[in-house]
């Protein structure tokens, strides 16, 4: 059974904005003082605060809320010291062969992989169909656009209105997929906090296999699928080749070479 979610605000100044968000997402809304009385009824709060929009778990001993923040923490550290185009994701997308690729991240989530690619010069269009995740991402991008160190990166990360099935008249050099995969007892202990939150609220992508044919239709050069170790191929289609990493792998489906010398 999936966990329950409501929208709350921690300051009366944010009440109207939070109420509008709750209406848009068809979620219950409470001012925080009221919401705290409902911790048994609601497992999570989508909390509008001065720091931005956050996803907060309720109850005693709950971990800190999750924000989309491209300006600090692990995301910022990876931008500065992550290894540039030597990273596995950069190689998987093909940045070792061609720069300034147009990428569709069709399962954007918190936007972290998209941010890495945009920081390396890609133009990355984002799709996210889960309403509260999209709201977190949109809020994080809007704050990043105001930050002088990352505004140029965030400007290369437009959040699209639809999902991949509504983009079949568009073309991208590369389509990137990272569908939610059901956790196992082995992986759940090591799962990141935000992924644990999302699994509670969203579960797995039941129609993940349907993403691959759509991606292959709109990609010019390749489709890249990020998978956990041991996970089956998406749609049971064997990739052209794979890149393995510590936590998982990238399955690469090549449609056409990115190497200009081979064209």
Residue 172 contacts residue 102 (beta carbons within 8 Å): yes
* 70-77 mean pLDDT: 78
Alpha-carbon span 64 to 56, nearest angstrom: 7
Alpha-carbon span 22 to 29, nearest angstrom: 6
Which has the minimum average pLDDT: 74-78, 91-95, 151-155, 225-229? 74-78
Residue 117 is classified by DSSP as H
CA 65 to chain CA centroid, nearest Å = 17
**Is the pLDDT at 260 greater than 80, yes or no?**
no
**Is the pLDDT at 191 greater than 70, yes or no?**
no
**Is the pLDDT at 36 greater than 60, yes or no?**
no
Look at 149 and 237; give whichever has higher pLDDT. 237
**Is the pLDDT at 39 greater than 70, yes or no?**
no
The model scores a pTM over 0.85: yes
pLDDT grade, residue 262 (50/70/90)?
A: low
**Is the pLDDT at 5 greater than 50, yes or no?**
yes
- Closest-CA residue to 6 (of 17, 22, 14): 22
CA distances from 87 to 92, 180, 258 (A): 9, 22, 18
* 178-189 mean pLDDT: 59
- Closest-CA residue to 178 (of 75, 121, 241, 105): 105
Predicted pLDDT at 185: 44
Residue 131 contacts residue 121 (beta carbons within 8 Å): no
Predicted pLDDT at 85: 83
Which parts of 82-208 fold into alpha helices (H)? Answer: 88-93, 112-119, 131-144, 151-154, 185-188, 193-201
* 89-104 mean pLDDT: 95
pLDDT grade, residue 50 (50/70/90)?
A: confident
């Amino acid at each position: 059974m999936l966990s329950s979610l409501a929208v709350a605000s921690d300051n009366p100044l944010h009440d109207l904005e939070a109420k509008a968000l709750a209406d848009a997402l068809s979620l219950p809304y409470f001012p925080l003082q009221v919401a705290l009385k409902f911790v048994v009824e609601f497992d999570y709060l989508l909390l509008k605060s001065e720091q931005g929009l956050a996803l907060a778990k309720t109850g005693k001993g709950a971990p800190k809320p999750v924000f989309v923040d491209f300006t600090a923490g692990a995301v910022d550290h990876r931008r500065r010291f992550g290894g540039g185009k030597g990273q596995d994701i950069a190689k998987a997308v093909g940045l070792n062969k061609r720069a300034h690729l147009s990428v569709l991240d069709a399962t954007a989530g918190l936007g972290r992989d998209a941010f890495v690619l945009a920081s390396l010069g890609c133009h990355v269009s984002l799709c996210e169909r889960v309403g509260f995740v999209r709201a977190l991402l949109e809020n994080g991008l809007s704050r990043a656009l105001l930050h002088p160190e990352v505004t140029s990166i965030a400007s290369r990360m437009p959040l699209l209105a639809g999902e991949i099935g509504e983009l079949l008249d568009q073309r991208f050099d590369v389509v990137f997929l990272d569908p939610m995969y059901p956790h196992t007892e082995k992986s759940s202990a090591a799962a990141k906090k935000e992924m644990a939150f999302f699994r509670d609220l969203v579960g797995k992508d039941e129609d993940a296999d349907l993403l691959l044919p759509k991606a292959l239709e709109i990609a010019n050069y390749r489709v890249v699928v990020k998978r956990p170790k041991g996970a089956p191929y998406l749609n049971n289609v064997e990739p052209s080749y794979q890149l393995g990493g510590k936590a998982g792998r990238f399955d690469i489906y090549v449609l056409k070479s990115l190497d200009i010398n081979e064209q």
